[in-house]
Amino acid sequence: MAELRTNLGIGTLYSDATVEEVAQSAEDIVKSYLWFDDYYATAQKLTSGVCTLYFDNPLGLYVGQTVVVTNAGSKYTGSKTIASMPNDYSITYTANGQSTDEPRHAIRPPATVSATTHIDYATTPAVREASMMIAVDIWQARQAPSGQGASVDGFAPSPFKMGNTLIARVRGLLAPYMAPNAMVG
């Protein structure tokens, strides 16, 4: 947030909450394009206190690994240690205290199973620069009429900043870190 204030030259003119909202939005946008060790469970079941999550794609996980499960419901969610992998498309682990059996059923939207990512994007210069560039674009779109940017030399409006080219302007910085599924479409 302090870096964004400095880059924009706004000092303490705007509240922390307003500046933080812009910084967080930029971070969320950039993170959605980065490579993380995440898997998406599309179905689940509970049998005798053991949760099973099912996936549509093969997994790169292993028995004994700790993962964080989100958006799967209270019995299934949390930091979990994989107890078994019946095949390359499912994992099992202990339920959160409840043992009422549930048959296999779909999870909509899919649950996220996150393993440890071995890169800290917060300290990666190219990712930080891309986030800053997007934050500045968001800030300018909020301040200029009709969401247009203004050039410093004549305050002439530029094309709409929040369009489909927002990420295209920083794709070169992010290219080495982009997940293949972020490049589809």
pTM for the full model? 0.69
Instruction: Answer yes or no: do 6 and 48 share one domain.
Output: no
Per the structure, the count of domains in the chain is 2
For 89, what's the count of Cα atoms within 13 Å in the CB-facing half-sphere?
Answer: 6
Is residue 97 within 8 Å of 53, Cβ to Cβ? Answer: no
Instruction: Answer yes or no: do 30 and 74 share one domain.
Output: no
Of 95, 114, 133, the last residue of a domain is 114
The 3-class secondary structure across the chain, one letter per residue, is CHHHHHHHCCCCCCCHHHHHHHHHHHHHHHHCCECCCEEEEEEEEEECCEEEEEECCCCCCCCCCEEEEECCCCCCCEEEECCEEEECCEEEEECCCCCCCEEEEEEEEEEEEECCCCCCHHHCHHHHHHHHHHHHHHHHHHHCHHHEEECCCCCCEEEECCCCCCCCCCHHHHHHHECHHHCCC
Instruction: Answer yes or no: do 141 and 171 share one domain.
Output: yes
Instruction: Answer yes or no: do 27 and 45 share one domain.
Output: no
Strand order in the sheet with 50-55: 78-81, 66-70, 102-114, 38-47, 50-55, 90-94, 84-87
Is residue 73 within 8 Å of 129, Cβ to Cβ? Answer: no
pLDDT tens for each residue of the chain, 185 residues long: 888 888 888 888 888 898 999 999 999 999 989 988 999 999 999 999 999 999 999 999 999 999 999 999 888 999 999 999 999 999 999 988 767 899 999 999 999 999 988 889 999 999 999 999 999 998 888 877 654 555 555 555 555 667 777 888 898 899 999 988 766 65
Of 114, 140, 168, the last residue of a domain is 114
Instruction: Answer yes or no: do 55 and 71 share one domain.
Output: yes
Would you tell me how many other CB atoms lie within 10 Å of the CB of residue 156?
A: 9
Which residues span the domain enclosing 73?
Answer: 38-114
Instruction: Answer yes or no: do 29 and 79 share one domain.
Output: no
Would you tell me how many other CB atoms lie within 10 Å of the CB of residue 79?
A: 10
Using alpha carbons, list the distances in angstroms from residue 69 to 5, 44, 80, 125, 128: 35, 12, 7, 29, 27
